[in-house]
Amino acid sequence: MTIGLIALGLILVGFFGVRAVVSFVRLQQTGLQSGVTDPEAIRGWMTIPYIATAYGVPEEYFFEHIGIPAEGNRDKSLGQLNREYAFGQPAAILNAVKEAIRKYQREQPPVTEAPP
């Protein structure tokens, strides 16, 4: 019984460890870091709050631009939002988010740091 529980524990640790490593590698491959300005780095697994933080764009701006309510949709990926709101148009929400970033970047003056 003890050996079986230890084996089960090791299997669970291995399973979730592999999942964590795969998620980390996927995040590193996107190259998305705070301050990145290229919207082409956005992927369908990302959420609006994640993108808002990474690109410095308010969450409300995204929800307003793509025309969906923020309530209940903050934790959903772009792929999930597309399935729920785009009605069969592939990558419609993803493209709308990319366009929202481009529009926001055109409207906002670039931030420059004051010399020390």
Residue 116 has pLDDT above 70, yes or no: no
Q: Are 107 and 57 in contact (CB under 8 A)?
A: no
CA atoms within 13 A on the CB side of 93: 26
What pLDDT is attached to residue 88?
73
What pLDDT is attached to residue 105?
84
| Residue of 31, 43, 37, 41 whose CA lies nearest to 55 | 37
Q: Which residues contact 70 (CB under 8 A, 6 or more apart)?
A: 48, 59, 60, 63
DSSP letters for 30-48: HT--TT---GGG--TT-BH
Question: What are the structure tokens assigned to 45, written together?
Answer: 């697994």
What percent of the chain lies above the pLDDT cut of 90? 41
Fill in the DSSP letter of residue 108: S
pLDDT-wise least confident of 48-52, 70-74, 96-100, 108-112? 108-112
